Amino acid sequence: MKMQYLSVLLLMSLLPVANLQASQADHVTATHAWIRLLPANLPASGYVMLQNMGTSTAVLVSAHSTTYASVMLHESTTGSGGMSSMNAVGKLAIPAQGKAELAPAGYHLMLEHASHMIKAGDTVGITLDFADGSQLPVQFLVRPANAADPN
Amino acid sequence: MKCSRLLRLVILSFAVAASALLAACNKDAQQPWQLTDISGHMPDLAFRLTDDHGQTVTAADYRGKITLLYFGYTHCPDVCPLTLAHLHVVMQRLGKLADHVRILFVTVDPARDTPAVLHDYVNAFDPRAVGLTGAPADIEALTKRYRAAFTREPGKSDDSYDVSHSSGIYIFDASGKARLLATPADGQDKLTHDLQLLLSSGGAP
Ligand SMILES: [Cu+2]
């Protein structure tokens, strides 16, 4: 009897916390996910609208994909002198009941070293990693280089 | 007492601001351009570079066309493609008139941007886009001519780095005179409007 009780306790301690309470990824929905494809295996960028339905902030920390060897969270900025530059970003917070947009000329996923030829019309899976270790797999639609951004 | 004086001062300054705003509006009404007019403030288009077919070209080769000069690089996945995609939409909106317009995409990363890379790149956006590369000194001279700038940022390796660069689009008329400056924040409507105006005036001053 006592042995049984102990083993239940042991079993419970082994369960990951994420399974006991809802994770950050559980509260985030991703829409308008697309990739602007560039020719000749040049770095491409991925865009997505993230909405947090939860009551606490969700923090995007990275992303990964089986299709691209390198996926980085980046931000483009244009300074007062009209200088445009790009920087790696460590995290992006999505406020509770709020949204964060990865869109042209702002936050984006920089995608490099595709494992195979990708063409417009394909979908590419990219998994978003959150601060609590939870993950959100998202299907990105591949659009041609000159696609006008959706409004 | 002190309070009402302050109030009068506030009202007065509002009136001054409002009249200044009105004057600005009236000036805008006479000014036909929606983009920034740089006529007489920037030198004529002049360069000697290599196009995306590997041919040596000079500004004279584009006389007779309205040219849109933009500095960028192909390993820029976000802002450069966005700008070129916007310019493609503008070209589509110009319809047949777009035949009289050329987009000149000058790389600020000649080490990686060979004519072949540039060829695939510009053609993914618009058939009227031309990729231009050349000796680093020639490219730097061209950016300086238009007070544009670029800086290579420290990268992970010799072939993985970003380049910060000016984001303006310089518009020249058919005789190579600098006429307008657009920023990425200027929408497609302004660009289309001004290009139509420039085309209808024969592109000449
Ligand atoms: Cu980037």
- Residue in B82, B165, B183 nearest the CB of A104: B82
- In this prediction the pTM is 0.83
At B35-88, the pLDDT tens digits run 999 999 999 999 999 999 999 999 999 999 999 999 999 998 899 999 999 999
Taking each continuous run of H as one helix and of E as one strand, the counts in chain B are 5, 10
Residues of chain A neighbouring B86 (CB-CB closer than 8 A): 148
Q: What is the DSSP string of B8-48?
A: HHHHHHHHHHHHHHHHHHHHHHH---SSEE-TTTSPPP--E
Residue to mutate among A35, A42, A108, with most B CBs inside 10 A, is A42
Q: Give residue A81's pLDDT band: very low, low, confident or very high (50, 70, 90).
A: confident
What is the torsional sign of CA A53, A58, A63, A65? negative
pLDDT at B198 exceeding the cut of 60: yes
Residues B38 and B177: beta-carbon distance below 8 Å: no
Q: How far is the C-alpha of B68 from the C-alpha of A133, rounded, in Å?
A: 47
Q: Which chain B residue's Cα is nearest to A78?
A: B167
In the block, tokens 């600098």 appear at B178
Residue of A nearest to B164 (CA): A85
pLDDT > 90 in chain B, percent: 68
A85-94, B1-10, B106-115, B146-155: which range is least confident on average?
B1-10
Task: Say if B169 is an interface residue toward chain A (CB within 8 Å).
Answer: no
Check CB contact under 8 Å for B82 and A105: yes
pLDDT digits (tens, 9 = 90+) for A36-59: 999 988 999 999 999 999 999 999
Determine how many CB atoms are found less than 10 A away from the CB of residue B129. Answer: 23
Shortest Cα distance from B33 to chain A (angstroms)?
A: 20
Confidence (pLDDT) at B2: 45
Q: Does B147 touch chain A (CB under 8 A)?
A: no
Contact A149 B85 (CB under 8 A): yes
